[in-house]
Amino acid sequence: MKFVNEMRLEFISCSSNESFARVSVSAFVSQLDPTIAELSDIKTAVSEAVTNCIVHAYNQDFGIIYISVKIFENGHIVIKIRDKGCGISNVGQAMQPLFTTGGEERSGLGFAVMKSFMDDVKVTSKPNKGTMVTLEKNIIRRTIKARN
């Protein structure tokens, strides 16, 4: 299926950009007229993925975080969040709830939140090359919601 709209963002892995990233994605997705709950889910999932880039991928360094969002005709959205950081050697382990290498104040729930709040989550990663997280969600248009 062809996408009907797309946006791309690039910004440095500065923790103050976590809110910039989630608010920007949510502003772009708003054209689909999502519910508050759907928007909140998307903002949370984006925040988790971007935080992973900052805390893990680039750790103490600064690097570039790339986000693209595509909107498809049927209200399907695909958000890609990519970094060129350290990569994840064991993606399966990283996605386990409560697993973290981020120290005591990190809950280890990032991927669990993404999985629970989005319809689909895919992670591809190469050590020392970077990681790409793909988040997908179907936004049901409110006109259709009202009919059902």
Which of 5, 24, 44, 138 is the binder for other proteins (CB under 8 A)? Answer: 44
Site for other proteins in 61-120 (CB under 8 A): 104-107, 109-110, 112-113, 116-117
By the 8 A CB rule, do 49 and 56 touch? no
The total of other beta-carbon atoms located within 10 Å of residue 121's CB is 21
- Which H or E run includes 24? helix 17-29
User: CA 76, CA 5: separation in Å to the nearest integer?
Assistant: 11
Question: According to the binding rule CB under 8 A, does residue 123 interact with other proteins?
Answer: no
Among candidates 89, 112, 117, which has minimal Cα distance to 99? 112
User: CA 36, CA 134: separation in Å to the nearest integer?
Assistant: 22
What angle, 0 to 180 degrees and rounded to 10, lies between the N-to-C axes of helices 17-29 and 36-52? 140
> Is 105 designated active site?
no
> Is 17 designated active site?
no
Question: According to the binding rule CB under 8 A, does residue 54 interact with other proteins?
Answer: yes
Q: Nearest distance from residue 77's CB to other proteins, in Å?
A: 19
Considering beta carbons, is residue 111 or 130 the nearer one to other proteins?
A: 111
By the 8 A CB rule, do 139 and 29 touch? yes
Considering beta carbons, is residue 76 or 106 the nearer one to other proteins?
A: 106
Considering beta carbons, is residue 41 or 83 the nearer one to other proteins?
A: 41
> Is 22 designated active site?
no
Active-site amino acid positions: 48, 52, 106
In the complex, the residues that contact other proteins under the rule CB under 8 A are 15-16, 18-19, 22, 37, 40-41, 43-44, 47-48, 51, 54-55, 104-107, 109-110, 112-113, 116-117
